[in-house]
Amino acid sequence: MKKLVFFGAGSMAEALMSGIIENGLLKGSQIWVTNRNNQKKLKQLEQTYGINGSYDYNELFADADAVILAMKPKDAAGAINEFKSFLRDDILLISVLAGVSLETMEQAAEKPLAIIRAMPNTSAAVSRSATAIAGNQRVTEAQKRIAQKLFDTVGFTAFVQEEQLDAVTGLSGSGPAYIYYLVEAMEKSAVEIGLEQKLAKDLIVQTLIGAAAMMATSEKTPEELRLQVTSPGGTTEAGIAILEKHGVQEAFISCIKEAANHSRKMGEALSSELGSGKQPIKLSE
Ligand SMILES: NC(=O)C1=CN([C@@H]2O[C@H](COP(=O)(O)OP(=O)(O)OC[C@H]3O[C@@H](n4cnc5c(N)ncnc54)[C@H](O)[C@@H]3O)[C@@H](O)[C@H]2O)C=CC1
Ligand SMILES: O=C(O)[C@@H]1CCC=N1
């Protein structure tokens, strides 16, 4: 791949471009980025990563191999409508948008296109994304390899059926936020039980890295690993009894199901909005 274009310059686009550049897959000069109207943000990305910011569609699409859609889902149909006349047949469209189906994007483009739908997460910024991808019939083997290489560069990639992507979104797309939420609670409690904030953060981060490494390398299930920590009559047992009392595991299960369901509902709403011919709502920054 020689030229990659990002439509959207928010958290997810920045996580991907920084991981791609950091790992040497592409140079900053091979990456082009546009957003709705935040010139300051484009300047900042240019300075940080040496990428090219532009609002000129001729310039953005010229010789582009792939275009990554990274705006909010509700801005997608409007964006595709704006740039569809610039899309050549041989450009690969890669969407990271939650919920928006391949069919909705094909309808918005109003022409046959090779489209890959991906669900990465923001850990792409540190080359640790968990990404699942699905493509439409027009995606060639060469384009599949381009997408796989791109997401392998920033972490782990799995090919899935498109129907599974809402579940992936609820699980690992949103997943980092659940972990940060948990860590917020760990940090608050650490301070309340007398630990200094910096020390608490170091201990928590190393605990997460260690637990993740155990799960990645051990044959044991998470439950078996948990039981190894839980001495009968000990501290862990006392702590987990409180989590059980508050239904924390059930809460996490409901959380992930709700996020997956929300992804599906967002997709359905956008698809029927497009079908009704209603102009999609546009956000401005
Ligand atoms: N933030 C995350 O952890 C993840 C986000 N995603 C998906 O990535 C997409 C972007 O999410 P964030 O980066 O969090 O959003 P964000 O709000 O940080 O960024 C959205 C960007 O899209 C731009 N934009 C809006 N309309 C545009 C248009 N017509 N043309 C070009 N750019 C336009 C905005 O100017 C902004 O730069 C969403 O669809 C989300 O579902 C997927 C996986 C994880
Ligand atoms: O919250 C969201 O909608 C996006 C999709 C997955 C993570 N962030």
Q: What is the pLDDT of residues 180-196, one digit of tens each?
A: 999 999 999 999 999 99
Identify the residue whose C-alpha is closest to ligand 2 atom 3.
Answer: 98
ipTM of the complex: 0.98
Nearest CA to ligand 1 atom 7: 97
Reply yes or no on whether the pLDDT at 202 is more than 70: yes
Which residue type, as a one-letter code, is found at position 209? I
Residues 128-163: tens digit of each pLDDT: 999 999 999 999 999 999 999 999 999 999 999 999
Read out DSSP for the chain? ---EEEE--SHHHHHHHHHHHHTTSS-GGGEEEE-SS-HHHHHHHHHHH--EE---HHHHHTT-SEEEE-S-HHHHHHHHHHHGGG--TTPEEEE--SS--HHHHHHHHTS--EEEEEE--GGGGGT-EEEEEEE-TT--HHHHHHHHHHHHHTEEEEE--GGGHHHHIIIIISHHHHHHHHHHHHHHHHHHTT--HHHHHHHHHHHHHHHHHHHHH-SS-HHHHHHHH--TTSHHHHHHHHHHHTTHHHHHHHHHHHHHHHHHHHHHHHHHHHHTTPPPP----
pLDDT reported for residue 275: 66
Phi-psi region at 110: left, alpha or beta (left = phi > 0; alpha = psi -120 to 50):
left
- Quote the pLDDT of residue 281: 40
Q: Say which ligand is closest to the CA of 12.
A: 1
Tokens linked to 134: 């699905």
Q: What is the pLDDT of residue 271?
A: 87
Residue 73 is assigned to a ligand binding site? yes
Domains, the chain, with CATH or none:
4-161 (3.40.50.720)
Closest CA to 99 of 166, 168, 158: 166
Average pLDDT of the chain, as a whole number: 95
Which residue has a Cα nearest atom 7 of ligand 2?
174
State if residue 173 touches ligand 2 by the CB under 6 angstroms criterion: yes
Which pLDDT score, from 0 to 100, does residue 253 have? 98
Please give the pLDDT value at position 277: 55
Ligand 1 atom closest to 97 (CA): 39
- Is 70 known as a binding-site position? yes
Q: Is the CB of 131 under 6 A from ligand 2?
A: no
pLDDT beyond 80 at 59: yes
Atom of ligand 1 nearest to the CA of 176: 3
Ligand 1 center from residue 72 Cα (angstroms): 4
Atom of ligand 2 nearest to the CA of 177: 7
Give the atom of ligand 1 at the shortest distance from the alpha carbon of 12: 13
pTM of the predicted model as reported, rounded to 2 decimal places: 0.94
